[in-house]
Amino acid sequence: MSELVTGEAVALELRPARLPSRALAVLLDLVAAMAAYVAVTIVLVTSTASLDEAAQTALSIATFVLVLVGAPIAVETLSHGRSLGKMACGLRVVRDDGGPIRFRHALVRGLIAVIEILMTFGVVACIASFVSARGRRLGDVFAGTLVVRERIPVTRTGFVPPPPPWLAGRFSGLDLSAVPDGLWLAVRQYLTRMQQLDPQVGSSMAERLAADLSERTGAPVPQGVPPAAYLAAVVQERQARESRRAFGSGSASALAPAAEGPSVVYGAPAAAYGPPAADLPPVVAPGAASESTGGGRPGKAPDVPAGDRPGTGFVPPA
């Protein structure tokens, strides 16, 4: 993975093409170019048989330059870096900043390709691409370009386990607008992989993520709620809000069945989670009124005695 920074200071993660895929793309391009060159040469030989030898030589040189040099330059310029071989291999030529190439980039690449590919049978290009950290040949270095992979294998997104049912809806009053996308991604990645982590490592990671999330929302983690359960409940609340915003209020109920059925992710059935969420006060950010506290005081979840606190049934990641 290569991180490129655009002119607007936006970091792009691109996958540079390596030598085998680039060599295959160049081979396909050369086969297509040589087929076109042979066809054009046959047509010119039959149509210019009456010309003298000097004229035929000039036409042969012009045909070579136009078909084997000019045509690839024109194709890369018009297709924004996608020749026939690159389209077949899922590759594209881009600028160093991730933008599409222009005529000058394709021109420099095409002219240097005559030396490092055609005249040396690709030996110089292979050596340069093998030595380069991003697989660039000399034409890419002088033109300021990079060949990247367009078709990236899609990995299945891991399942985000639902929170304990008694936590569903308890965080409806949280202000989630200050939570950055990077933190949401880190929380989702932890929840999808927490069963694969070492228990001690997963517990410390959940505590750090929960602390960061509570700092962004402005509300502390409620007492007695495991950090991993807190993360799952807040993620579900965010998903419910996005669902209501995109499809209307009725669609948020589609998330409830996932939390009502028996859970095998946390190692305990749903009956072990305790009372439903309606018996517990919601958690809101400081400054927001809580209906359960009365008097319009800033919402704070009241402390529940240890003997009356419902069992979470939430098993730390193993």
Question: What are the tens digits of pLDDT across the range 86-125?
Answer: 999 889 999 887 788 999 999 999 999 999 998 888 899 8
**Termini Cα distance of the chain:** 30
pTM comes to 0.47
Give 283's contacts (C-beta < 8 A, 6+ positions apart): 170, 171, 173, 174, 219, 222, 299, 301
* Pairing relationship of beta strands 2-5 and 11-14 according to DSSP bridges: antiparallel
Per-residue confidence (pLDDT) for residue 286, from 0 to 100: 58
Q: Is the pLDDT of residue 290 over 80?
A: no
Closest CA to 145 of 32, 16, 243, 301: 16
**Contact 311/297 with Cβ under 8 angstroms?**
no
With beta carbons less than 8 A apart as the criterion, state whether 72 and 113 touch.
yes
As a whole number of angstroms, the distance between CA 119 and CA 102 comes to: 25
Say if residue 168's pLDDT is above 50: yes
Q: With 60 as the cut, is the pLDDT of residue 304 above it? A: no
Orientation of helix 71-78 relative to helix 103-113, angle to 10°: 150
Residues 19 and 126: beta-carbon distance below 8 Å = yes
**Which has the minimum average pLDDT: 57-71, 143-157, 200-214, 243-257?**
243-257
Q: 3-state DSSP call for residue 253?
A: helix
User: Which phi-psi region, left, alpha or beta, contains residue 286 (left: φ > 0; alpha: ψ -120 to 50)?
Assistant: beta
The pLDDT of residue 153 is 53
Q: What is the dihedral of CA 88, 63, 95, 92, to 10 degrees?
A: 0
d(CA 207, CA 69): 60
pLDDT at 59 over 60: yes
Which residues, in sequence order, are CB contacts of 281 under 8 Å at separation 6+? 170, 290, 292, 293, 301, 302
